[in-house]
Structure 1
């Protein structure tokens, strides 16, 4: 029991140390590259992340082509230093409302081909999901709200990937600073994103810091936690 307790305490300390280590890296050491094995591990933590109803309304586009990064730069004001210097740069796409409708081909495919639900179970899940969209969250009929609901879920793999990276000494920076319309048009023009099915939710850069960050600042626990 003592050994188990000691191991658990060490794991907790390692996890908290990773959170202390992680910061929004504005500029990376462009001479250092993340290994394929390490980045595969990071992506796998994103793939294994949870989603509402298990419908995984996302796609991860890893942008390693320098020319494409240069094309993205004018529309990504929040990534001016990260795009040129990051070892790996990821665009996180969210499913469009047409794919998130309860009777969509995508949802049907997820239930039958990925979740492998029996027909009667899938039909029941579709009814519950449809009621959720219409009644519980009031999303039905509001395409922007549905997209934002799907985009919100992409922040689960985003957070998991950044934490996983920090645990193995890799830096990251989540980025929302971009012109969504122009970025999406560019991605569509380049044949990277089908705007009928996806939109850009957020971006994240990975690599190794080029300098030491400022001391982390956060509100204290009593300011952000309330017990009732």
Structure 2
């Protein structure tokens, strides 16, 4: 157990926001499938998995993303794998949507009586607990928050097998979504772009050691 803890913390120390990757080193199919699997198995609110992972390996499409993704200028040309994480919008995430109904019945395989009870809880949660029905943006932001759970898990899993990553929010959301629609990757109003993430192998070691606030600055115990 001690060794496991040490290995996990070692991976956290290893991980950093890698800006430039070694273009001559590619992640194997097996290793990248493992990274994606940790995203797929990630938890989400009510277990409704409001995400989709679009792996952009097409170099022409990466070049089209460059002018509208200012935070990925070095990562797009050099990353072994580049992922656009999509979050589902209100159309799908509403308590009475066909997506939610199908998910409970055919993905979670819940009996109808459980579907009814869970559906009622979900309706109350959206209407009053989190006030998600007040705007389309509120619903999308709630779904996007959950994609960051998958994002974090994928980056940590990558670090544990010696693969670097960089999460990216530096992009023009509307223009990226427009490009993905033009390319036939997105259609309708089902998804929006939550974040981007690049994976690969670092070209150079970080120039600065990892800095964080101390434990007592970020943790408060109420006893």
Normalising by the residue count of structure 2, what TM-score does the alignment of the two structures yield? 0.98
1:175 and 1:43, CA in 2 relative to 1: closer, same or farther beyond 3 A?
Answer: same
Q: Secondary structure at the match of 1:39?
A: helix
Query: Which string of whole-angstrom CA distances, capped at 9 and with x for unpartnered residues, describes residues 129-172 of structure 1?
Result: 01000110111131101100000000000000000000000000
Structure 2 match to 1:73: 66
- Name which of 156, 159, 171 aligns with 2:152: 159
Query: Which string of whole-angstrom CA distances, capped at 9 and with x for unpartnered residues, describes residues 60-102 of structure 1?
Result: 0000000000011110000000000000000000001110000
Structure 2 match to 1:9: 2
Structure 1 match to 2:162: 169
Structure 2 match to 1:208: 201
- Name which of 100, 113, 117 aligns with 1:120: 113
2:77 is equivalent to residue 104 of structure 1: no
After TM superposition, the runs of 4+ consecutive aligned structure 1 residues lying more than 3 A away are none
Structure 1 match to 2:23: 30
Whether contact under 8 Å (1:184, 1:195) holds in the other structure is: no
- Name which of 174, 179, 182 aligns with 2:175: 182
- Name which of 7, 11, 36 aligns with 1:18: 11
- Name which of 187, 207, 212 aligns with 1:218: 212
Output the CA distance in 1 between the equivalents of 2:197 and 2:187: 20
Structure 2's unaligned 5+ residue stretches are none
Normalising by the residue count of structure 1, what TM-score does the alignment of the two structures yield? 0.96
Output the CA distance in 1 between the equivalents of 2:96 and 2:131: 17
Structure 2 match to 1:54: 47
Structure 2 match to 1:40: 33
Aligned residues: 221
2:75 is equivalent to residue 82 of structure 1: yes
